[in-house]
Amino acid sequence: MASEYTTSEYIKHHLTNASMCNTENGIAFNKACADAGFWTWHIDTLAWSIGLGILFLWFFRSVAKKASTGVPTKTQAFVEMVVDFVNDNVSATFHGKSSLIAPLALTIFCWVLLMNLMDLVPVDLLPTIAGMVGQYGFGMDPHDVYMKAVPTTDLNLTFALALGVFALIIFYSIRMKGIGGFTKELTMQPFGHPVFIPVNFILESVTLLARPLSLALRLFGNLYASELIFILIATIGYFQLPLHFMWAVFHILVLPLQAFIFMMLTIVYLSLASEDH
């Protein structure tokens, strides 16, 4: 597929999301959405993220329904190992009391990991299949069919995840401290004198907003850079296999690490929000 484009066109094609938007003439797709305004849906990001989330729920639920107290199967042992791993990290990091944190941490870790692992799929495989479906199923030009299969390379998705965590930070802060306590935390720290309230509010607001921002940008930046390198390797042609293999082996460590960091930072932020000063 790389031979059909210049290197610049090839990279741009692989980094473009399949888009859907609502225009004056009705529903439009891809290039027609360039000037559509704010409400543009990245349908590949939505499809892969929702599909992988459903896969995670189905797999863990099916294993839980078949679980036994006897000698576990390999699948049950694997799931129990993941659950124990997440639970140990939650127990060591979260100092409050909440029945939500451990399931939330498990969901974040597994869901983000599955989305990250899509980075190991050969970069031409899914776009080529999507192009063939568009060409033979809908009469489209394959060059106008886009498919980004790694949801975490889409800043919209990483920000959506981070905003969900941010909403929980605000919820736990108000739940533990009350509205008055949360307001006091924003206005009376780090300087405890009323004259410094404006300064305190600016400093604490920046700190608070930096948490979801760092979560979103860290995950997006690492996965986007990783996907870009895979695409650049693919432009080499027949000599790409050794480099692709080495980069993929390296990513067997990197991709779980990024999911782990997102999970751990979420636990830490929620633990800080739950502390009653």
Q: Do residues 93 and 264 make contact, with C-beta atoms less than 8 angstroms apart?
A: yes
Q: How far apart are the first and last CA of the chain?
A: 59
Looking at this protein, which amino acid is placed at residue 269?
Y
Residue 175 makes CB contacts below 8 A (sequence gap 6+) with: none
Q: Which of these is catalytic: 218, 226, 271, 274?
A: 218
Residue 111 makes CB contacts below 8 A (sequence gap 6+) with: 49, 52, 53, 56
Q: Copy the structure tokens of residue 181.
A: 């306590």
**Active site annotation includes 30:** no
**Active site annotation includes 222:** yes
Looking at this protein, which amino acid is placed at residue 65?
K
Rounded Cα gap, residues 21 and 36, in angstroms: 7
Q: Which of these is catalytic: 222, 226, 271, 274?
A: 222
**Active site annotation includes 62:** no
Q: Which of these is catalytic: 214, 226, 271, 274?
A: 214
Packing angle, helices 43-66 and 155-187, rounded to 10: 80
Which residue has 């975490």 as its token pair?
A: 152
- Is the previous residue joined to 190 through a cis bond, with omega within 30 degrees of 0? yes
Rounded Cα gap, residues 75 and 32, in angstroms: 46
Rounded Cα gap, residues 90 and 102, in angstroms: 6
Q: Do residues 21 and 41 make contact, with C-beta atoms less than 8 angstroms apart?
A: yes
Give catalytic residues, as residue numbers.
214, 218, 222
